[in-house]
């Protein structure tokens, strides 16, 4: 077949590949750029026309060093295949491939990754990635010049590319600077440099940076209980992709909290912000003594979470997971991840409904007089396959979107499907409370629920989550948190429920509060507790 394909010079082929990446692969970036210009009151026509020219020159400059014969085809076939998938994600979900997003991709379980596969993504991948890669594989490349001449051509090509960029900058630098300052994700949207650089960062920190020395936190922690007081049984429920905007408690005009709102002794916090916009950041952060502003994931993975501190102080800790794992926070305490083996009740072989977390818990609640904390990690509202997060009898809002290529659903269907996941999570929380109540004769029982991050459902063209925090919309950072505290628990703790409800309605909180609040809630005293971040502190009677 190659005999029917004409040979092409490596130089012209490089230019063609640069053109392809400029107008096809980076179509989402150009579309974003021109949408930005369209929203401006005025802009220079020359500036608008220069955008693809600068992108082409920049790509040609980056690509040229990889056009040597031994690596040419291997390198660009890899780029075509990976960029096809990345381009689809940017175009449909406005995904930004920074280091955090790459970490999410590497740590996503196979069952969750498969939920992103659908006809649309496969078609896009075949057309923009596979077919061009096959064509490149088949095309014969000419290298007629001497090695020295080929090297000279490459150097000249790179110099011309830089000259083009410099020439445009001399005319429109202020325009580029202005757009860039006001749209800070543009520099991490250009394919393939964005995901290649971010993947390099991730792999470097993951495998090449010397691991930090493990640090124990709160080594002075001790359990302090009043004589004769019943032990505490606390259920800590970590949500997935729950956003506050879609909670009835937060003023949403749909009955997404219809189960919990019938439950007494609930405290809903109206103003809670997440530590990150992805599980891989938010979960380690909320379990760490570090605040969001100085959070370091490497340090978090090399130091105690509050689960470790609780266990060291004598609290019985158990973690049960129905999501993508605990991101390291439960590694040193007893833990289990629910197997997705098809059971005909909760699991279909690839995913499980969150009610499965309650199965078999009684065996972990042994009457041994110890304080107990049971962590439950929900799959909650994990997208894009929202429809797989709730059973058929919880299809309350219809029509819903029964597919993972959510961009092909109407906005109404998408919101209905997401709201069904919120309502099902609300139901599961009442079942956790019902389980806790079964042990009220032997324990003072309570529940804390906090979601890891929010979700975008098409607002400003964004979908899913993972947008860099500095530019993330509130839909991804404003999260629900609620406490259920039994009367016996509040009495034993000297807590005023009405005070908590008043504080929850007006005060700003964040995931920074969880570390300090849970330690106090479990009667553990340690010098690492910051009283200003302990939610219970201001509503406790003097002790």
pLDDT of residue 113: 65
Query: For residue 3, what pLDDT band results from cuts at 50, 70 and 90?
Result: low
pLDDT of residue 102: 83
Instruction: Count the neighbouring beta carbons within 10 Å of the beta carbon of residue 197.
Output: 16
Q: Where in the chain is the domain with CATH 3.40.720.10?
A: 231-539
CB 441 within 8 A of CB 420: no
| pLDDT above 60 for 496 | yes
CB 394 within 8 A of CB 373: no
Give the whole-angstrom CA distance, residue 113 versus residue 121: 12
In Å, the largest CA–CA distance within the chain is 90
CA distance between the termini of the chain: 85
CB 456 within 8 A of CB 487: no
pLDDT mean over 206-232: 90
CB 349 within 8 A of CB 340: yes
What are the DSSP calls for 365-431, one per residue?
Answer: ---SS--EEEEEE--TT-SS-GGGGS-GGG--SSS---SS-GGGS-HHHHHHHHHHHHHHHHHHHHH
| pLDDT above 80 for 13 | yes
- The rounded percent of the chain whose pLDDT value lies above 70 is 98
pLDDT mean over 46-51: 94
Pick the CATH number of 231-539 from 3.30.70.1170, 3.40.720.10, 3.40.50.1970, 3.90.1530.10: 3.40.720.10
Strand pairing category for 372-377 and 481-485? unpaired
Residue 469 three-state SS: helix
For 259-270, what is each residue's pLDDT tens digit? 999 999 999 999
Query: For residue 509, what pLDDT band results from cuts at 50, 70 and 90?
Result: very high
State if pTM tops 0.95.
no
């Amino acid at each position: 077949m190659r005999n029917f394909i004409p040979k092409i010079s490596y130089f012209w082929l490089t230019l063609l590949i640069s053109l392809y990446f400029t107008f096809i692969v980076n179509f989402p970036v150009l579309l974003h750029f021109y949408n930005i210009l369209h929203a401006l009151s005025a802009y220079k026509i020359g500036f608008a026309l220069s955008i693809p020219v600068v992108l082409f020159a920049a790509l040609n400059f980056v690509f040229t060093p990889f056009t040597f014969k031994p690596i040419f085809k291997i390198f660009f076939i890899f780029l075509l295949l990976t960029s096809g998938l990345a381009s689809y994600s940017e175009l449909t979900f406005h995904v930004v491939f920074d280091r955090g997003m790459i970490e999410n991709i590497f740590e996503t379980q196979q069952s969750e990754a498969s939920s992103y596969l659908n006809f649309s993504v496969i078609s896009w991948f075949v057309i923009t990635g596979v077919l061009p890669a096959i064509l490149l594989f088949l095309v014969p490349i000419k290298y007629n010049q001497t090695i020295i001449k080929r090297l000279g051509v490459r150097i000249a090509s790179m110099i011309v590319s830089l000259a083009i960029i410099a020439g445009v900058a001399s005319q429109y630098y202020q325009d580029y600077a202005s757009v860039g300052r006001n749209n800070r994700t543009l520099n991490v949207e250009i394919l393939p440099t964005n995901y290649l650089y971010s993947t390099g960062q991730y792999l470097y920190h993951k495998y090449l940076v010397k691991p930090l020395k493990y640090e124990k936190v709160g080594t002075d922690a001790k359990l302090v209980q009043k004589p004769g007081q019943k032990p505490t049984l606390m259920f800590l429920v970590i949500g997935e992709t729950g956003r506050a905007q879609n909670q009835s408690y937060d003023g949403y005009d749909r009955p997404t909290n219809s189960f919990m709102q019938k439950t007494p002794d609930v405290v809903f916090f109206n103003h809670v912000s997440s530590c990150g916009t992805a599980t891989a950041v938010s979960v380690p952060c909320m379990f760490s003594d570090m605040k969001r502003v100085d959070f370091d994931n490497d340090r978090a993975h090399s130091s105690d979470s509050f689960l470790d501190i609780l266990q060291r102080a004598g609290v019985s800790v158990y973690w049960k997971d129905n999501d993508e794992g605990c991101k390291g926070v439960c590694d040193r305490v007893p833990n289990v991840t629910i197997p997705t083996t098809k059971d005909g009740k909760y699991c279909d072989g690839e995913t499980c409904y969150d009610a499965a977390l309650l199965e078999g818990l009684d065996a972990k609640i042994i009457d041994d007089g110890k304080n107990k904390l049971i962590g439950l990690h929900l799959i909650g509202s994990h997208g894009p396959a929202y429809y797989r997060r709730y059973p058929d009898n919880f299809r309350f809002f219809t029509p819903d979107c029964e597919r993972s290529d959510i961009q092909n659903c109407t906005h109404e269907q998408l919101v209905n499907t997401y709201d069904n996941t919120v309502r099902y999570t609300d139901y599961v929380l009442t079942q956790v409370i019902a389980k806790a109540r079964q042990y009220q004769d032997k324990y003072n029982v309570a529940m804390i629920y906090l979601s890891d991050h929010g979700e975008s459902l098409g607002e400003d063209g964004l979908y899913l989550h993972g947008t860099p925090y500095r530019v993330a919309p509130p839909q991804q950072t404003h999260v629900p948190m609620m406490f259920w505290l039994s009367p016996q628990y509040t009495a034993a703790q000297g807590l005023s429920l009405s005070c908590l409800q008043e504080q929850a309605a007006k005060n700003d909180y964040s995931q920074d509060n969880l570390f300090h609040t849970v330690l106090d809630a479990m009667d553990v005293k340690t010098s690492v507790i910051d009283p200003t971040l302990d939610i219970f502190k201001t509503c406790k009677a003097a002790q």
